[in-house]
Amino acid sequence: MGPPPEEFPGNIFLNDGGLRAGWRLLVYALFVAGLGVGGGILLLQFVPPLRSLSFSGYLFADEAFCFLVVFGAALIMARLERRPAGVYGLPLQGAFEKLFWQGCLFGLAEISALIGLVSALGGYSFGSLALTGRELLRWGILWAIFFILVGLFEEFLFRGYTQFTLADGIGFWPAAILLSCFFGAVHLDNPGEDWVGAASVVSIGLVFAFALRRTGNLWFAVGWHASFDFGETFLYSVPNSGVVFDGHLSNATLHGANWLTGGSVGPEGSVFSFVTMGISALAIHFLFPAKNKKPALD
């Protein structure tokens, strides 16, 4: 009968681990597309059209749906690949536990340091309060939950199944670099975004990948991502990747050179963003020594 297919060096479909990484990513993409289209049709049948929802309702529905699609497709792949779904970065054990809350503190510290540096050189003013009483509490809770959904969706999309599988084919860091570049490119579609801001997004993607490498899963990065965006959008009331949202805490303003404030991009486009990311990477290096990384990520 001859040697099994995986022993043929020129086999483009199989290797000694089964289906090659590129084909698995293609199958995953097909599942994402199928769940996205099918789920979208069902949603329109059983709930009011998304366009009829309030602004905040639309954002919530969109982010929740997108996360369920990419995570649901990974659950299907886990069955097909006979792996526990947790190896793709979001194990249920540890969900919203210590690593997540550490990440939240980390993200708030980073955005606070970034705003502090910009402010020290006269580039940021907090302004008067835009919200008080119930509205302040309502918007604070809404944005906190919303950005957790954003963190779950974006981290899993770029550093979940795709990172795990692509790393199996080309190695962890080549995969992280490729996906982080894609992460930055996607942000260029945001109004007000520019190439400096996109470069900052690429850099933070690499730092998030470093956090994944050292902690062994995405929960730290999800908390960090969520709280950084929450701080930027709500607490400090500045543009978030070129987007200014409603329901922010104050009438804050950015003023000064774009290299300092980030201009229309917001503080992510500031030169100090690269400084705080570098400091964050060093902090991760010392807080999570390399010996703690999980074998599944090798």
- Whether this prediction's pTM lies above 0.85 is answered by yes
Nearest Cα neighbor of 146 from 268, 58, 235 is 58
Taking residues 164-193, report their average pLDDT: 91
To which H or E segment does residue 18 belong? strand 18-19
Residue 13 has what DSSP assignment? S
What mean pLDDT is predicted for residues 230-245?
A: 91
* Rounded Cα distance, 205 and 221, in Å: 10
| Percent residues over pLDDT 70 in the chain | 88
Q: What is the mean pLDDT of residues 55-67?
A: 81
End-to-end CA distance of the chain: 34
Q: Look at residue 298 in the predicted model and tell me its pLDDT.
A: 37
Q: Please, what is the average pLDDT of the chain?
A: 88
Average pLDDT over residues 168-189: 93
At 187, give phi and psi (nearest 5°). -70, -15
According to the model, what pLDDT value does residue 46 have? Answer: 65
Q: Domain map of the chain by residue range?
A: 92-297
Q: What percent of the chain has pLDDT over 90?
A: 68
Classify residue 42 by burial, with Cβ atoms within 10 Å: 0-12, 13-18, 19+: exposed
Asked whether 289 and 80 are in contact (CB, 8 A), the reply is no
Q: Quote the pLDDT of residue 79.
A: 95
CA distance 274 to 276: 6
The yes-or-no verdict on residue 208 having pLDDT over 80 is yes
Q: What is the mean pLDDT of residues 212-225?
A: 97
Q: Is the pLDDT of residue 52 over 90?
A: no
